[in-house]
Structure 1
Amino acid sequence: MSKSRVIPSIEQLLQRDGVQALLQTYGRTATVKALREAAEKLRTQLEGPGSPDEVKVEVLEAAERLESEAGTSLTRIFMSSLQPVINATGVIIHTNLGRAPLADSAVSAIAAIAPHFTNLEYDFKNGGRGHRDTHVEYWLRELTGAEAVVVVNNNAAATLLLLSALASGREVIVSRGELVEIGGGFRVPDVLAQSGAQLREIGTTNRTRADDYAAAINDRTGLLLRVHPSNFRIEGFAERPSLESLVAVGQRFGVPVVEDLGSGCLISHDELPAEPTVRSSIEAGVDVICFSGDKLLGGPQAGVIVGRDQMLQRVRTHPLMRAVRADKLTYAALNATLQEYALGRASITVPVIRMIKAQEDEIERRARTAAAAVNTSTIKVQIIDGVSTIGGGSAPGSELSTRLLAMTSLTIQPKHLAAALRRLTPPIIGRIERGQVVLDLRTVLPEQDEMLAKALGSLTA
């Protein structure tokens, strides 16, 4: 007799109380599919190689097993693959971990808007169509000093849109030292080509002067492009014209100056002295600036374009605009984040800014609390000196002194201990440094401290 005959039929399984509960939760189609897959797996095991004792399964045991496996499978399938993690890497703007966590006010703004119809593009005054940038225009103008604003879905889109609207079919002059590549293979020359603009390289990798820009200008010049080196730094025998001198060249020849500022720093930070602010570029006379919303600004993913109204009108009406525009949730979160800056409390309420300004003694206190939760004798813990980084292609070379929780297992290798941390709930993402797994509490949200301690307490490595 075939050993697989112990497997109950799907109809028999559907009568079980546990399976009825699965039906209520996941519906008939998904539940039946999971039961069939579990039954096929068991059938393969029963009919496969092995002695009768190894594969002996009773009918009741088979039913319980199939119910359990189907339940596990359904839980896994319906659980969102996108889940919260504890970022203990010490990288504040971690692209792989979703960049900037949002301020509470931004989260509340999203929750208030998401379930409803909104006035995203509706003008209450005239009862007709409005434009969506009005929802952030006031605060961006106040905080940057710009005349006008356009928001799209990320800064790469902003760069492409700007070049397409302002320089398609014309030359764009760029220093060779600014032909950068950022994460994911995003290269400035490729974006220029995609926009229809033609690249005109000037200077050398390490030295470019204002006169180089002036010498390259001709009747086909569309704009002068300045790219902030947000993920690298050239030091030593290097020269780069000041923004003011570049603007002077543009004004002398009547050529607009566009700056891809990247990081989007709205306020000066003592911790990041080399990072320019958007307002400083506007005050220097730059015509149009674009930057990210989810880097040093600390808001949602967005590409923010600010500058002269006449030029942004061309950007706003370009056909590509509709393909890259931001949605209502982005505007809600961005507006709330900008208000935190306007109220002067971003250093407390915006997580990215709070992490940048966190003090070592507070980080150490939190690290010691977390270390005390590790209750297995096979893991040695200590608090050591270390550095945090900004990340996200922002503030290259900037390091912030910190205190690290360092863990060494007496039984497994560091890579296996790091993997064990990633399997916890919630997953803890740290880094391996000098043969130790280290956790930097600078990038752990304070409200996650209790979860971190509980998760560390469950370690058995």
Structure 2
Amino acid sequence: MRQKSGKPSANRDLLRALPQVGELLEREDVTPLVEFHGHELVAHMLRAVIDSTRQGILDGAITERRDIEPGTIVLKLSAALNRASAPNLCRVINATGVILHTSLGRAVLPPEAWAGAADIARGYSMLELNRETGKRGDRDDHIAGIAAELTGAEAATVVNNNAAATWLILNELAAGKEAIIARAHMVEIGGSYRMMDVMKKSSAMMVEVGATNKAKASDYEKALSENTGCIIKVHTSNYKISGFTEYASLEELVEIGRRRNVPVVYDLGAGSLVDLKPFGLVDEPMVQELVKSGADLVCFSGDKLLGGPQAGICVGKKEYIARLKKNQMFRMMRCDKITLALLEATLRLYRDPKRVWQRVPTLAMISEPLKDVKARATKLHGKLDALKGVEAEVVEHEAFVGGGSLPTEKLASYAVSVKAAEMSPDELASRLRTGTPSIFGRIAGDRLLLDCRTVSDSDCAGIDAALSTALMK
């Protein structure tokens, strides 16, 4: 006769021995958890831990009595509570070398901006009240004046992002009418955002002109009709077509628009208020240049090259800005008080064109001299190379602006190449990513690279401590 396995019996013994929720809640080492997290959350998480333990027993993953003892369950409970209480949106050290990293929050905000926004957040604010008259005001007043001042536009407004700004403009100017656009400008950006789909949703009728590599002024002129709502030119910020190409200039389109009484829109996307050419970034026009060229409306992002919060800024002629603000969808897209506070503070920094390069982190990272980046990499290398089991070296690297801006442009940089003994670069990257602070680098071959153009001096200590912890796991 075959002898029966003792495993089912052992499982039953472990299941019977599982402590009860009520008993565990009475323990002295659980009391501080209840006081800190609250009874309901602790009880909920405790049931989840016990259920998980029970399933582990049934699956055969838990076979030892010590794994179900009350002290062990409490340790699991404490870890589970810490995970549940930790914010999902947490601070990250960006060592990828991508300055405007979309997945890591794009622009790092200036200290003046987040300090001012914190002050607004902690109390009431003058959001929609005129301070002088005491009557209801317009929340746009906080940024409209300075945005117009900095760009040379007649007026300005802001919505929650540039995609919303583009949709709003198309809906207001060309709903039920034609919007003329070059075939090469039918862009797609992250998240499957496609210009042709935006046009459709805005109720504008898209009229493509030209070929992929050529769209002349005459192509636009031939496409005009009595039902034309606007001409729109889109900056191809996330790709580049080179070679046998020819595209109508904004000045040519403005001349056509003036003559035919059709508004001309420029969807800039990233949107810079400073000249980036001295740093080798030659394909990004300044907002002021587009306004000066006569565009009726220009829209651009707040959280890209501007270095502020997510927003869609529209500048241009008063009559068209006024129309945007009267659109029924405008209220659904407007910004809250925190965004407005962040944006206003960021824009104010541009009033000092010399100091803005140091005060706006995005611009500081773009313009930082290579020797300073190397010095930071050398400093970080000294810390990391001293850790047991770590092989580190300073290497030349290439950084990117990112955020859908200047895709073919690179910034010379330096990185610290890290290799951990008996650990793959993927494992090391995972441990740093899931640690505190969370650190993101780039894997190249058998090493993890930490690019120091996007790492601040204060970040170096955090990387040192995080790597030490990662090696001990």
TM beyond 0.5: yes
CA contact (8 A) 1:34 1:70 kept: yes
Q: Tell me, in whole angstroms, the C-alpha distance in 2 between the residues paired with 1:83 and 1:460.
A: 22
Cα distance in 1 for residues equivalent to 2:411 and 2:205: 40
Q: Distance in 1 between matches of 2:148 and 2:57?
A: 70
Q: Report how many aligned residue pairs link the two structures.
A: 457
Matched-pair contact (CA < 8 Å) for 2:162–2:300: yes
**Aligned position for 2:4:** none
Deviates further, 260-269 or 40-49: 40-49
- TM-score, normalising length from structure 1? 0.95
- The answer on whether the counterparts of 1:174 and 1:202 sit within 8 Å (CA) in structure 2 is yes
Deviation at 1:47, TM superposition (A): 5.7
| Structure 2 unaligned residues grouped into runs of 5+ | 1-11
**In the alignment, structure 1 residue 363 sits paired with structure 2 residue 370:** no
Distance 1:50 1:445, change over 3 A: closer
Distance in structure 1 (CA, Å) of the matches to 2:255 and 2:263: 10
Out of 73, 77, 82, the position equivalent to 1:75 is: 82
**CA apart distance, 1:459:** 4.5
**Pairing of 1:333-352 with structure 2 (within 5 A):** 333-344=342-353, 345-352=355-362
Contact 1:6 1:57 in 2 (8 A): no
Q: How far apart are 1:85 and its partner, in Å? A: 0.8
Aligned counterpart, 1:176: 183
**Residue 396 of structure 1: how far off its partner (Å):** 2.5
Q: Is the 8 A contact 1:373 1:454 kept in 2?
A: no
User: Does structure 1 conserve the Cα–Cα contact (< 8 Å) formed by 2:209 and 2:220?
Assistant: yes
Structure 1 residue 57: deviation in Å?
Answer: 4.3
Match of 1:24 among 35, 46, 51: 35
Aligned to 1:353: 363
**Could you give the per-residue CA deviations for residues 28-63 of structure 1, whole angstroms, max 9, x where no partner exists?**
111111122222333344566589xx43349xx722
Structure 1 residues 11 and 354, CA gap change in structure 2 (3 angstroms): same
Post-superposition shift, 1:318?
0.5
Q: Does 1:437 align with 2:448?
A: yes
Q: Secondary structure at the match of 2:467?
A: helix
Offset at residue 334 of structure 1 (A) = 0.4
What are the equivalent positions in structure 2 for 1:63-212 lying under 5 Å apart? Answer: 63-212=70-219
CA RMSD across the alignment:
1.9
Alignment of 1:358-397 (within 5 A): 358-374=368-384, 375-376=386-387, 378-397=389-408
For residue 293 of structure 1, the aligned residue among 294, 298, 302 is: 302
Query: Which sits farther off after the overlay, 176-185 or 395-404?
Result: 395-404
Deviations 1:178-236 (A, max 9, x none): 11101110010000000000000000111111111111111010000000001011111
CA deviation after TM superposition for structure 1 residue 2, in Å: 4.0
Picking from 46, 59, 65, the partner of 1:35 is 46
2:412 aligned residue: 401
Decide whether aligned partners of structure 1 residues 176 and 49 sit closer, same or farther in structure 2, where only a CA change above 3 A counts.
Answer: closer
Corresponding position of 2:315:
306
Kept after mapping to 2: 8 A contact 1:266/1:278: yes
> How many Å separate the matches in 2 of 1:262 and 1:19?
53
Residues 369-418 of structure 1: CA deviation (Å, up to 9, x unaligned): 11122234543221121211110011231111111211234533332232
Q: Are residues 1:226 and 2:233 paired?
A: yes
Give the secondary-structure state (helix, strand or coil) at the position aligned to 1:38: helix
Shift of 1:120: 1.1
Higher mean C-alpha displacement, 65-74 vs 387-396? 65-74
SS at structure 1 position matched to 2:69:
helix
CA shift in 2, pair 1:48/1:199, >3 Å: closer
Distance 1:11 1:446, change over 3 A: same
Q: After TM superposition, give the deviation of residue 313 of structure 1 in Å.
A: 0.8
